[in-house]
Amino acid sequence: MSALQAAAANVPAATVVNLRRPVLMAAAVGAVGLVVCGLLGHIVMGILGVVGLGLGLLNTRLLQKSVAKVIASDNPSKKAVGFSSVQRLIAITAIAVALGIFVRPDGLGVFFGLAVFQVIIIGNTAMPVIKERRTS
């Protein structure tokens, strides 16, 4: 067993991200964002905010698959995780920047969506850890 596999085996189950709650939260935030942007006359920004939330979800899901694939391999390495991360982040950044540039000024919605999803995913990851620390 490699050091990476040993480290993965020691991760508490509470810290593994289940995407059900973040998806529901992102859907609720996206719906509110659509309504607010629609009322302010920027429905395209609201739609792109939802696209940003979706890109954040896609990034998280692809990260989970990538790490699981690397850890399951015979010779896992940090380099393999890093390489897949670079590819994934370049693709998502390219999509976000292209939308931001070509759909000005409403293209900023995609960046808001990405940022909000990161807050959602960090909150959902941190809460079980905080709860576990308080009980122990």
Give residue 14's pLDDT.
47
More reliable by pLDDT, 15 or 7: 7
Give residue 5's pLDDT.
57
Residue 6 three-state SS: helix
68-87 average pLDDT score: 82
pTM: 0.83
Residues 6+ positions from 96 with CB-CB distance below 8 Å? 52, 55, 110, 111, 114
Give residue 55's pLDDT.
97
H/E element holding 131?
A: helix 108-135
